[in-house]
Amino acid sequence: MHFLKYPFIAFLAVLSFAGALHAREDSSFDPPALYLQWQRDPTRGMTIHWHTVGDAKSELFFRPLDTTHWKSALGTTKPLVGTERTVRIVELTGLKPGANYEFCFQPGARVFKFRTMPKDLSQPVRFITGGDVYHNLKWMGNTTALAAKLDPAFIVLGGDLAYSNGGTDPENISRWFDYFASWKTNAVAPDGRLIPMLVTLGNHEVKDSYRQPVEKAASFYSLFSSPGPQGYSTLDFGKYLSLFLLDSDHTHTIAGDQTEWLGKNLSARRNVPHVFPVYHTPAYPSFREESGIQAKEVRANWCPLFDKYGVKVVFENHDHCFKRTFPIRAGKIDPKGTTYLGDGAWGVEVRNPDPAKPKWYVEKSAGIRHFYVVTLTPEARHILAINESGQVFDEVYQRVK
């Protein structure tokens, strides 16, 4: 491993038809929330979410970019409890890898674009990750727009998205409306395509924060199709990348079923060159104490699996700081170990780690709003830390062994 100092600048139902689409009532429809995710193979599918108020049909029309032959796809709905909104979901499957598509909700309405993931790393793949997203709409919007300008294939957000929940207080669900309005405006690539969003749970998605039933995170589970009903999942991109989206003790405990599942699925992906776990509450916090309950649980249950299966980089969040640890293995600094990057400062008030109280495992930390740009090739992974002004201020380069 090297640390470099210089900056690097649905088909549930599909009806095919050609020619004029049948008449619809309102061709000006433009949903207040629109976002993309994946539930299965990102190289051959896309899941489209949008919100409506009142009666509407869970239907959209799509086609490969620069073609004239539309297809209709029907999907499902979920009520957003406590609001007048309905979440509508269409999963498109059977698409071509690395291909551009466009879709609309009604004839003559606004057209949106997306791209499926490539089947391999014949060209570099770039994605962005961060967490702790929306304290302030200006901060969130600025950071998201900056990330989008870098043309990532997708963005992974490790929890504390809209801060709709805070301890025992009633959920402020209107923050989700603001969150998705900002995302729709700003998470757009330079070529106009929508950038998919992958997410994990954080404590501010859950009433009472930790060790709660899924009903205490009802909005999260209505709004997002991934990571799915069990709160954690893995997503495989061909044979070159696997993301592990984990629940750090919010609606599923760290120990027990989730750890057993994690070990089984890491073992099954021993030969995948790029494997990244992403979760909210860190094993190695940059600001909080390492004696926290969840930190100890992650170190006791997940970190030994990261050691065993050779995971080289983990993305953590929650502490509202920038963090890079030394490589760690078996609870000690080891050049062959795992580097833990974090700690969630996308659009929040940052915290400043106390230099008078250094942590043995932290190589570098600071109170900086930031995100990580991850570029993958068959030979290496290259990770840049970028601040809210667009400057590269830290860098990790690892060869794939």
Q: Dihedral, CA atoms, 350, 196, 183, 70, nearest 10 degrees?
A: 180
Q: How far apart are CA 94 and CA 297, in angstroms?
A: 40
DSSP 8-state class, residue 378:
S
* List of residues 6+ apart from 121 with CB closer than 8 A: 240, 376, 377, 378
Contact present, 34 and 26 (Cβ < 8 Å): no
Q: Over the stretch 70-93, which tens digit does the pLDDT of each residue have? A: 999 999 999 999 999 999 999 999
Query: Does residue 155 or residue 5 have the better pLDDT?
Result: 155
Which structural domains are found in the chain, ordered by start? 13-115 (2.60.40.380), 125-399 (3.60.21.10)
Is the pTM here over 0.85, yes or no? yes
Burial annotation 308-342 (CB, 10 A radius, 16+ → b, else e): ebebbbbbbbbbbbbbbbbbbbeeeeeeebbbbbb
d(CA 319, CA 332): 22
> b or e along 346-371 (b: 16 or more beta carbons within 10 Å of the residue's beta carbon)?
bbbebbebeeeeebebbeebbbbbbb
| Contact between residue 8 and residue 392 where contact means Cβ atoms under 8 Å apart | yes
The dihedral formed by the CA atoms of 265, 270, 274 and 278, expressed in degrees to the nearest 10: 30
Pairing of strands 197-199, 233-237: unpaired
The pLDDT assigned to 391 comes to 98
Per-residue pLDDT reduced to its tens digit, 339-386: 999 999 999 999 999 999 999 999 999 999 999 999 999 999 999 999
Going by DSSP bridges, is the β-strand pair 322-325/328-329 parallel, antiparallel, or unpaired? Answer: unpaired
Tens digit of pLDDT for each residue in 189-225?
999 999 999 999 999 999 999 999 999 999 999 999 9
| Rounded Cα–Cα distance for residues 266 and 272 (Å) | 9
Specify which residues 113 forms β-bridges with.
102, 193
The encoded tokens of residue 314 equal 């983990």
For the record, the structure tokens of 237 come out as 């991109």
DSSP 8-state assignment for residue 205: G
Identity of the residue numbered 247 = D
- pLDDT given for residue 354 in this prediction: 94
Burial of 69 (C-beta count, 10 Å sphere; 0-12/13-18/19+) = exposed
Distant-in-sequence, close-in-space partners of 50: CB < 8 Å, separation ≥ 6: 31, 33, 34, 35, 87, 88, 105
pLDDT cut 90: percent of the chain above it: 87
What pLDDT does 101 receive? 99
For 88, phi then psi, to 5°, come to -110, 135
Q: What are phi and psi of 101, to 5 degrees?
A: -130, 160
Tokens of 391: 């400057």
Q: Kindly state the average pLDDT of the residues 249-257.
A: 97
